[in-house]
Structure 1
């Protein structure tokens, strides 16, 4: 897999653009009820990234705060014009953001390494036999990071 840095992306209307200067750490599908409400879908594809590797190159993101299913204080960064969600973070910062994988300009490499919060997954969602599945928030992300690196070639 050959994906060059920086990775660029943005919102649906193009008013908010970003660049990612370091490779993603991992990519997973989150089935929590918060992600379902935010997207209006069954899950969201999130890319774990180093927070300071994300730079907005056009526009300023709007911000929304809530408490996650795990009880953490979270915030979302989104386009104030079209409402497109770009990333989520945690307060206090843990140095990692969840960047929406569908916002990358090039999504040819996007594939989840795991599924989290599967206890909230819609009943019709089917998983593969070899999928990494977590009922809730993982306590150890190393297996997800390792699997992601094994099929993308990205190294942090």
Structure 2
């Protein structure tokens, strides 16, 4: 979005972890996998793909990880106080951050251009026309 000004501040629910997003994300994706449904307690989770050097975090975070279907590790950073997830990452690709953009103070950038793992999508949700769709992880 051209009217969004960077940096955009972000924070967890309690404010114990804060950050600044310095540049626009490469893309914003809606993931419909069962794990993201658990995470979001909704039909899908939104992720903004950003370069690690375009974001600055402050505050203590905890880490949790699980194996992904691909064999990679899906790791997450979250606030130890309120439990709010801030981002996911693959430890083998630390330069890529999968930011949870609903933690931003300005959420206008949340406009998914791709939907992934639609093979596990809730039947009642209709994907908007004009976005890329992937059965699993592209």
Q: TM-score, normalised by structure 2?
A: 0.92
CA contact under 8 A between 1:32 and 1:69: conserved in structure 2? no
CA distance in 1, matches of 2:48, 2:28: 4
5+ residue gaps in structure 1? 139-156
Q: How many residues align?
A: 137
Cα deviation for residue 94 of structure 1 reads 5.2
Q: Equivalent residue for 1:152? A: none
Q: Give the structure with the larger helix fraction.
A: 1
3-state SS of paired residue (2:123): coil
CA contact under 8 A between 2:32 and 2:120: conserved in structure 1? yes
CA contact under 8 A between 1:116 and 1:134: conserved in structure 2? yes
Q: Equivalent residue for 2:6? A: 5
Q: What does the per-residue CA deviation read over 1:74-118, in whole Å, with 9 as the maximum and x for residues that have no partner? A: 210111111100000002125211101111100123211110110
CA distance in 1, matches of 2:16, 2:35: 25
CA distance in 1, matches of 2:91, 2:37: 21
Q: Equivalent residue for 1:16? A: 17
Q: TM-score, normalised by structure 1?
A: 0.82
5+ residue gaps in structure 2? none
Residues 1:32 and 2:33 aligned together: yes
RMSD, aligned CA? 1.4
In structure 2, relative to structure 1, the CA distance for the partners of 1:94 and 1:24 (3 Å cut) is: same
